[in-house]
Amino acid sequence: MCGLLGLVCASENDAASARSAVGGALHCQRHRGPDETDTWAEGEVVYGFNRLAIIDVEHSHQPLTWGPPENPHRYTINFNGEIYNYLELREELAEQFGAKFATEGDTEAIVAAYHHWGASAVSRLRGMFAFLIWDSERKTVFGARDPFGIKPLYYSSGPGGIAFASEKKSLLDLSETLGVEEELDRTALQHYLVLQYVPEPESLHTGIRRIESGTSFTVSPGGEPDIERYFYPEFRPKPVNGPAQANALYKDIADAMRDSVAKHMRADVTVGSFLSGGIDSTAIAALAKEHNPNLITFTTGFEREGYSEVDVAAESAAAIGVKHIVRTVTADEMMDTLPLIVWYLDDPVADPALIPLWFIAREARKHVKVVLSGEGSDELFGGYTIYREPLSLAPFEKVPGGVRKLLGKVSTKIPEGTRGKDLLRRGALTLEERYYGNARIFRDDQLRRVLRTFTEGVGHQDVTAPWYRLSEGWDPVARMQHVDLFTWLRGDILVKADKVTMANSLELRVPFLDSEVFRAATTIPLEEKITKETTKYALRRALAEIVPSHVLNRRKLGFPVPVRAWLRDEMYEWARGIIADSQTGHLLDKTAVQALLDEHRQGTLDHSRRLWALLVFMLWHGIFIENRIKPEIPEPQYPVKL
């Protein structure tokens, strides 16, 4: 787990003068890899790398050069991530091709796989990754990002060349070298205020985009990347007829999870685990304990009733038999730390769960260098409550289209906050119209109230339509899962997981997002995912012998945050100050934003999620556009050799 930076210049002369600029741009992502920093240049290519040493700690330095016997310096790789099946790949490459390796790590396995199998090698990698491979013979860079988007990869191009980085901040530092003028992307802002995150491949700067999850690319000096998608997920459920087939399904899931956790435990440093009160993290911790009897687990909570799973997590830790550490977070800590967290994020993510995750990651880094976590389970196994919506809205599907539209118009006449209004409104819409992920922050009518730059015709379907087209004919829950894989998961869940843990020089691994676990999940029929009583039914059955009984059928809260209550009390004046000081009046109607805050405080309506999205954006704007807010960025002070 590291931070990479790669610059492909238009000419060798440009590269010679750019090496110092690359070295300087590395510093703002030093938190991603405080163990080692290095730069490398050849021809038109300059690499920079910050390493967090996890596997083959004393070797496997990067940038790493490898090649076949006839040209041992042909390839040089910059690689961020972990390949969990690297031992099997190395053995296969040695047996089949006689490949030789100078280290004991996973980085060489990627380069050798690319040399022998070409671009198709990415489909053999079981792990999380973003990498660049310079081929000195062909004068090209080949790169790729993992199927789910666990590891980030930004890029920016201009007259000076094209640059790739793990952190957007590094590309902002290179904008002069590239000859790129960065401006706020107002379309991306509108998407953010609807979705809670900036969807791929956008960023909030017009000149910076992201290589999408599940894609690879080739780029030559002076050119633009030729990007191809290699990962097309398919949910193709198999019928389950009778107890024997059901038990075979549950065993397949359990076996895949056990194997995934075993491979995710591969490290030459200490591995711990996050632990909330739900089944996902509990299962991972229980399976990890099989490989590390001294496993340490971590959780966080708040001193407010109903917003903490500390007691349940502690009970789970005792049942599993692991050492458990708890970090309690206060409202004052959240307010003080949020600008720093927004700086680490690069682009705003309006998910309040970022805050407790930040504090527990900081605490965990005092004890371990790697943690396992449960991200991805809900998307793969049908865990979100909203996945049950097709069941509740089924009666609307029998209503003629004209009547459904009329019901939608009726819903607009019902006062906000009235019970049943949203059900009626959503029932009048098709799945493609109504579902765009777990977070639904601003509707168009609400957004017009606060966004001065509102553009008609820009909406969530710009983001979701391609993924719906690829899932035509699937059941509605599978289609929702498919959309979430390319929107909510990679836009919110994995961004906050990567950014917040890497900010603390902590590697986070997600065993649910594994190719074999995904294979098992795609075979689950609808009735084994969602029932009237529960979600993730098949997963719960599969893990019945692994997790303690008190969490088996418990609804997951994750790391809930009392933002709704705090914005009415402890955080009101803080929020008022952010609104007053923000220089976003040309983008937002600040009077309308303040009115939302006052309505929320009075208890008239719950605007907490909308307010949080606006406040996070205002802080982001103050940092990256106004240069008015300057968080004090700490140098890594962790015991980095754990």
Q: Which of 74-78, 134-138, 384-388, 590-594 is least confident?
A: 384-388
Confidence of residue 416 (pLDDT cuts 50, 70, 90): confident
Neighbours of 392 (CB within 10 A): 13
The confidence score (pLDDT) of residue 16 equals: 78
Structure confidence by residue, pLDDT tens digits, 489-504: 999 999 999 999 999 9
| Predicted local confidence at residue 599, as pLDDT | 96
Please check whether residue 299 is in contact with residue 274, taking contact to mean a CB–CB distance below 8 angstroms: yes
Full DSSP string of 223-285: S--EEEE------------SHHHHHHHHHHHHHHHHHHHHHHT--SS-EEEE--SSHHHHHHH
What integer pLDDT is reported at residue 277 of this predicted model? 80
- Strands 507-509, 370-372: pairing is parallel
Mean model confidence pLDDT for the chain:
93
φ and ψ at residue 44, rounded to 5 degrees = -90, 5
**Which residues touch 283 (CB under 8 Å, ≥6 apart)?**
257, 374, 543, 546, 547
Largest CA-CA distance found in the chain, in angstroms, rounded:
75
Average pLDDT over residues 38-67: 94
List phi, psi (to 5°) of 426.
Answer: -75, -35
Pairing of strands 296-302, 271-274: parallel
What is the arithmetic mean of pLDDT over 185-209? 97
Q: What is the pLDDT of residues 319-328, one digit of tens each?
A: 999 999 999 9
**What per-residue confidence (pLDDT) applies to 406?**
80
CB 431 within 8 A of CB 390: yes
For residue 144, what are the β-bridge partners? 131, 216
| pLDDT recorded at residue 325 | 95
pLDDT in tens, 529-562: 999 889 999 999 999 999 998 888 776 555 678 9
CA distance 198 to 221: 29
**Token couple for 242:** 């009778």
Report residue 642's pLDDT band, with 50, 70 and 90 as the boundaries: low
The Cα 19–Cα 45 span in angstroms is: 9
The pLDDT value recorded for residue 637 is 66
Q: What is the pLDDT of residues 100-154, one digit of tens each?
A: 999 999 999 999 999 999 999 999 999 999 999 999 999 999 999 999 999 999 9
Domains of the chain, CATH where assigned = 2-229 (3.60.20.10), 243-383+493-552 (3.40.50.620), 386-485 (no CATH), 563-624 (no CATH)
**Which residue type is seen at 20?**
S
Mean pLDDT over 47-67 rounds to 94
Per residue in 290-308, pLDDT (tens digit) is 999 999 999 998 876 666 6
Q: Residue 639's pLDDT is what?
A: 57
Residues recognised as catalytic: 2
* 199-203, 309-313, 433-437: segment of lowest average pLDDT: 309-313
Is residue 86 helix, strand or coil? Answer: helix
Q: What is the mean pLDDT of residues 164-186?
A: 95
Q: Assign 11 a pLDDT band (cuts: 50, 70, 90).
A: confident
Question: Which residue type, as a one-letter code, is found at position 528?
Answer: E
Q: Do residues 166 and 29 make contact, with C-beta atoms less than 8 angstroms apart? A: yes
Q: What is the pLDDT of residue 307?
A: 64
Q: What angle do CA 635, 639, 642 make, to 5 degrees?
A: 140
With 60 as the cut, is the pLDDT of residue 69 above it?
Answer: yes
pLDDT at 444 over 70: yes
C-alpha 319/C-alpha 276 separation (Å) is 14
Per-residue pLDDT, 559: 61
**Residue 264 pLDDT grade (very low, low, confident, very high; cuts 50, 70, 90):** very high
